[in-house]
Amino acid sequence: MKNIAQKVLFLLLIIFSSCSSIRRFTVEVQEPAMITLPVSVKNVLIVNNAINQPINYGVERNFNNKSVRDDYPISLDSLVWVAVNEISNALGETDFFNKIAIYKEPIRSNNEWLTVSYLSPEQQREFYNLEDFNALLVIERLFFNLKQDVKTIKFGATSYDPTVFSEIRVDGVITCSMYTYTKETPLTTFSLQDSLFSKLILSNDSMVIFKHLPEYLLKDLSYNLGTGVATCFLPVWKPVDRFLFVGQNPRMQEAAGYAADHRWANAESIWIKQLENTNKPADKTKVAYNLAIANEMQDKFELALEWVAKAKGYFENANPDKYSREIELIDKYAIELGQRIQNNRLLDLQWGR
């Protein structure tokens, strides 16, 4: 697996005026995948082990409060392949795996579409032997519920037949298992669910209303579920807010200017001198907190944790009522920093560092 440097991307968002005491900026931090795979997992085969949901099962459609006949059966046969292809595309676009492939045929032969049927050791070996695969991502089950209410739009006491209002909700659940070469039982089996809603005014075309529109939404939901499955195995970048204490002190503003220019080492040296020249507990707290931020931005996380602990210690001699906002900010940051340190340890495992 490719080693990615822990780079923090700066998107400086100054939301306070020049006379403000606090400045906010946004950074992107990497969070670990929900599921940690062994480092050896590099080549993954995606297998369709699901049975298609029966036509119109879980489908409820009403027109002017009367149930719609089954004249417009909704096709569900291809939906699992929509999810499979999206999983493959999403995993294949990253540097986390070397090879992602799809087994092109469904492998289940029974009709128990709501059950999960795990692969036997013999089946697993057959798939591993196709090429140099060391993991199998198996789609065990995919099912949907669809509810649609359609009503003719009325103008005054009369109905205008060519126009209707359609309201649809579709819910989907996908269940997957991940097998690895060294284990005969799944490393994990998990389910994800998602929903889509649609409210439209459209012409009174029964084929469009009761077949094409529901099928379009079901396909879109299958795509989203595939994206969700892939995301479970991939580290992600997320924006988080950070804050700096600035105030009116020229040296503090100078340091903030260096920080805005990504020159954290320069800002850090100024804050260290400020800490030496400051006697007030509240001022020491703010400088120590800034030093914690500076160290985090330089990937010196343990030092950042030490500085935030010092910041909290300085506030023990300050008025908690007067500085409640600052105390809350520092306490929140201490929790977030601790979580980021834990996440980085897990990321090291996932990237094989």
The DSSP output letter for 328 is: H
Question: d(Cα 70, Cα 64) in Å, to the nearest integer?
Answer: 16
What pLDDT score does 19 carry?
A: 38
What pLDDT score does 110 carry?
A: 81
Listed by start position, the domains of the chain span 9-31+241-351, 43-234
Give the residue among 218, 333, 240 at the shortest CA–CA distance from 286.
Answer: 333
Query: Which residues in the chain show pLDDT less than 70?
Result: 1-20, 155-161, 318
- Contacts with 27 (C-beta within 8 Å, 6 or more apart), sequence order: 8, 9, 10, 11, 239, 240, 242, 297
Question: d(Cα 79, Cα 40) in Å, to the nearest integer?
Answer: 31
What pLDDT score does 73 carry?
A: 87
The secondary structure of 264-293 as a DSSP string is: HHHHHHHHHHHHHT---HHHHHHHHHHHHH
Domain 43-234 has CATH 3.30.160: yes
Question: d(Cα 253, Cα 28) in Å, to the nearest integer?
Answer: 24
Domain 9-31+241-351 has CATH 2.60.40: no
